[in-house]
């Protein structure tokens, strides 16, 4: 009730002051003030509960929205931290993958060099064998040619020998066989 009286004084005191300045209160001014006061009281009586409930519910909804916003903010911060951790782990994993590939590339390079060296060694051995084979065939061919030439020379010399020289050679050969 005290609030009602206080509100009434706050609402009507300025009107009384303004009315006094203009030359006093007019006779129907009291009824107007009474009507206005009655209107305010009725409004207050009728709207007090819905207005207070509206402001309560509005206050609660604002508090709930703030709590939800705080929860969303915390969730966003948590997700950000997780994303940063994932990015850092991905960077480390990328470094490991690069190191692995570099190592694999180095191993592959060494394997290729080893295979090249083995292939070169086989080629050198094959060339050496071919060279030896060619030399052997060349020596054999040279020996055949020299033998053929020697036989031809001997045939020519034998054809040039006289009968007497033939007989001497035959006798020498027979004596060497007898001994």
Residue 7 · residue 39 · CB < 8 Å: no
What pLDDT is recorded for position 64?
A: 94
Ramachandran area for residue 24 (φ above 0: left; ψ -120 to 50: alpha; else beta)? left
Q: What is the pTM of this model?
A: 0.37
What pLDDT is recorded for position 16?
A: 58
What pLDDT is recorded for position 66?
A: 94
Contacting residues for 7 by C-beta, under 8 A, at least 6 apart: 40, 44
Q: Is 58 exposed, middle or buried (0-12, 13-18, 19+ CB in 10 A)?
A: exposed
Per-residue pLDDT tens digits for 19-59: 555 555 555 666 777 788 788 888 888 888 888 899 899 99
Residue 75 to residues 39, 68, 79, 80, Cα–Cα distance (Å): 51, 10, 6, 8
Under the banding of pLDDT at 50, 70 and 90, the label for residue 4 is low
What pLDDT is recorded for position 8?
A: 64
Per-residue pLDDT tens digits for 90-148: 888 999 999 999 999 999 999 998 999 999 999 999 998 888 888 888 888 888 888 88
Q: Report the length, in residues, of the chain.
A: 179
Alpha-helical segments (H) within the chain: 2-21, 29-160, 163-178
Under the banding of pLDDT at 50, 70 and 90, the label for residue 3 is low
Q: DSSP for 101-153, please give it.
A: HHHHHHHHHHHHHHHHHHHHHHHHHHHHHHHHHHHHHHHHHHHHHHHHHHHHH
Provide the b/e sequence for 23-41 (b: ≥16 CB within 10 Å). Answer: eeeeeeeeeebeeeeeeee
What pLDDT is recorded for position 31?
A: 74
Contacting residues for 16 by C-beta, under 8 A, at least 6 apart: 25
CA dist 25 and 6 (Å) reads 22
Is residue 2's pLDDT more than 70?
no
């Amino acid at each position: 009730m005290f609030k009602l009286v206080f509100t009434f004084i706050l609402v009507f005191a300025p009107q009384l002051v303004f009315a006094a300045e203009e030359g006093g209160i007019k006779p129907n001014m009291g009824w107007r003030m009474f009507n206005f006061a009655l209107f305010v009281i009725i409004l207050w009586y009728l709207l007090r509960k819905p207005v207070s409930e509206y402001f309560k519910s509005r206050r609660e909804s604002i508090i709930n929205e703030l709590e939800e916003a705080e929860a969303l903010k915390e969730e966003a911060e948590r997700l950000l931290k997780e994303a940063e951790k994932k990015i850092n782990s991905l960077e480390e994993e990328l470094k490991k993958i690069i190191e692995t590939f570099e190592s694999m590339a180095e191993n592959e390079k060494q394997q290729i060099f080893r295979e090249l060296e083995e292939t070169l060694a086989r080629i050198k051995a094959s060339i050496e064998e071919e060279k030896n084979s060619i030399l052997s065939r060349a020596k054999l061919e040279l020996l055949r040619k020299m033998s053929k030439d020697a036989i031809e020379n001997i045939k020519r010399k034998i054809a040039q020998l006289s009968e007497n020289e033939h007989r001497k050679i035959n006798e020498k050969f027979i004596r060497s066989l007898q001994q």
